[in-house]
């Protein structure tokens, strides 16, 4: 990491309930986090509870309760509503928050689409078209668009998400962070993204993919420095290593079983693909079998996974590798119960964040 540079920190809160969400966002702002990310799901995942509140409604509510922290969707798909509607939702949040909204976009997950009869076919192609439309609605007076999935004729949005930066200049868009890790979606980031938000990469993977994005951005005439490199990750931090390990083990195994490609990457053959959550469905009725199958996984898979756990010093050492790889915005999902979420946030803010702000 270059001298004088610092890393931003975001926190992804829970899907539910409102009090925990609100308390977490207010605390995060108070203790030094830079951004708050709200999961954008129709349904959550869990063993006992699968509740989810609507993301942009929550972000707008937080907009009038907070003053400094950025407010982001983590992440929205472009299938559940027309891209013009998503653009308007982000614009509304941006205006209510006085320019603090971030629109996170990804290709979507089956759990939020298939049970409701929403198409999951051609997710990347649909997402690319939607991003183009959102960009144009934010920056042009009238938009004509003829695509495979969307058609617009003299479409317009007013007001636009513009925030004054001087008497005569304006920031014309909400920052658009794209969740991407495949070769095709990395190219989408390079062409259209203000930020890159992959999840659960190793530092080595992160560095290689960031270089690809920057090379592609240059090829399209973009300044790579205008693309903010972020990273989403699951973390448990505790005062002692054994407590952190114990807290991460079962939740880590459940997440790995729902993300079998991570198991494959670390050299472990997944015992089943039945609980893969991006393109398959996992319902509450599956919770007991998902939990039971997760318990069969050895601790070794979590130890080798990209999920981070340990003491503050352990976490600093692991996160520093991402900073060295080029990451400048770490978005943390703390894998702890709501009962200890506040104290975990405080420990992280007191012992981990200052290291990266002083560099």
pLDDT digits (tens, 9 = 90+) for 145-172: 999 999 999 999 999 886 555 554 445 6
**With 80 as the cut, is the pLDDT of residue 46 above it?**
no
**With 50 as the cut, is the pLDDT of residue 4 above it?**
no
- Average pLDDT on 87-99 reads 96
CATH number of 8-239+311-357: 3.20.20.30
- Average pLDDT on 208-227 reads 97
Q: 40-49, 101-110, 119-128: lowest mean pLDDT where?
A: 40-49
**With 60 as the cut, is the pLDDT of residue 333 above it?**
yes
Q: How many Cβ atoms from other residues are within 10 Å of residue 229's Cβ?
A: 25
**With 80 as the cut, is the pLDDT of residue 281 above it?**
no
pLDDT at 130: 98
Which two structure tokens, joined as six digits, stand for 255? Answer: 């997440």
- Average pLDDT on 296-306 reads 96
pLDDT at 357: 85
| Mean pLDDT across the chain | 93
CA dihedral sign of residues 286, 288, 291, 294: negative
- The pTM (predicted TM-score) of the whole model is 0.94
pLDDT at 166: 54
**Domain definitions of the chain by residue range:** 8-239+311-357, 244-305
Decide the pairing of beta strands 143-146 and 195-196. Answer: unpaired
Q: Where do the H-state alpha helices sit in the chain?
A: 18-31, 55-63, 83-96, 123-139, 183-192, 203-219, 241-258, 260-265, 287-295, 299-304, 312-324, 338-351, 353-357
**With 60 as the cut, is the pLDDT of residue 359 above it?**
no
Question: Angle, to 10 degrees, between the axis of helix 312-324 and the axis of helix 203-219?
Answer: 30
Higher pLDDT, residue 120 or 83: 83
Share above pLDDT 70 across residues of the chain, in percent, rounded to a whole number: 94
pLDDT at 115: 85
Question: Angle, to 10 degrees, between the axis of helix 123-139 and the axis of helix 83-96?
Answer: 50
Residues in contact with 223: Cβ distance below 8 Å, sequence separation at least 6, in sequence order: 217
Confidence of residue 49 (pLDDT cuts 50, 70, 90): confident
Structure confidence by residue, pLDDT tens digits, 18-34: 999 999 999 999 999 99
Helices and strands (H and E) in the chain: how many: 13, 14
In order, the DSSP letters of 69-107 are SEEEES-EESSSS-HHHHHHHHHHHHHHTTS-EEEEEE-
pLDDT at 168: 47
Q: How many Cβ atoms from other residues are within 10 Å of residue 342's Cβ?
A: 16
Measured between alpha carbons, how far is 91 from 94 in angstroms, rounded to an integer?
A: 5
Confidence of residue 85 (pLDDT cuts 50, 70, 90): very high
Confidence of residue 111 (pLDDT cuts 50, 70, 90): confident
- Average pLDDT on 251-275 reads 93
Measured between alpha carbons, how far is 294 from 249 in angstroms, rounded to an integer?
A: 10
Decide the pairing of beta strands 228-237 and 308-310. Answer: parallel
Rg (CA), the chain: 20
Distances (CA, A) of 352 to 73, 206, 218, 302, 316: 24, 21, 34, 22, 6
Q: Rounded to the nearest 5°, which phi and psi values hold at 228?
A: -80, 120
DSSP-derived 3-state class of residue 50: coil
């Amino acid at each position: 990491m270059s001298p004088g540079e610092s890393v931003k920190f975001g926190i992804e809160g829970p899907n539910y309930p409102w009090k925990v969400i609100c308390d977490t966002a207010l605390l995060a702002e108070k203790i030094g986090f830079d951004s708050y990310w709200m999961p954008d799901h129709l349904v959550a995942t869990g063993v006992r509870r699968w509740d989810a509140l609507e993301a942009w409604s929550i972000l707008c509510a937080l907009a009038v309760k907070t003053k400094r922290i950025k407010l982001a969707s983590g992440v929205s798909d472009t299938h559940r509503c027309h891209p013009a509607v998503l653009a308007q939702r982000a614009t509304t949040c941006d205006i209510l928050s006085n320019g603090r909204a971030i629109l996170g976009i990804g290709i979507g997950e089956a759990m939020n689409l298939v049970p409701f009869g929403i198409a999951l076919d051609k997710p990347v192609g649909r997402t690319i078209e939607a991003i183009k439309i959102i960009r144009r609605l934010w920056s042009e007076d009238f938009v004509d668009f003829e695509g495979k999935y969307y058609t617009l004729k003299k479409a317009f949005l007013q007001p636009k998400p513009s925030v004054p930066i001087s008497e005569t200049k304006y920031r014309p868009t909400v920052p658009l962070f794209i969740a991407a890790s495949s070769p095709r979606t990395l190219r989408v980031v390079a062409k259209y993204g203000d930020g890159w938000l992959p999840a659960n990469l190793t530092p080595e993977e992160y560095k290689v993919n960031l270089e690809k994005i920057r090379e592609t951005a240059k090829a399209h005439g973009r300044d790579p420095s205008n693309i903010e490199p972020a990273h989403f990750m699951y973390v448990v931090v505790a005062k002692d290593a054994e407590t952190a390990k114990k807290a991460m083990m079962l939740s880590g195994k459940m997440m790995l079983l729902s993300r079998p490609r991570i198991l494959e990457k670390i050299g472990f053959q997944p015992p089943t693909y039945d609980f893969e959550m991006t393109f398959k469905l996992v319902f509450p009725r599956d919770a007991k079998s998902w939990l039971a199958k997760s318990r069969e996984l050895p601790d070794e898979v979590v130890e080798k996974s990209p999920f981070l756990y340990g003491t503050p010093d352990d976490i600093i050492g692991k996160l520093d590798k991402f900073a060295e790889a080029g990451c400048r915005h770490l978005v943390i999902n703390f894998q702890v119960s709501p009962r200890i979420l506040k104290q975990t946030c405080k420990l992280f803010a007191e012992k981990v964040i200052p290291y990266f702000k002083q560099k």
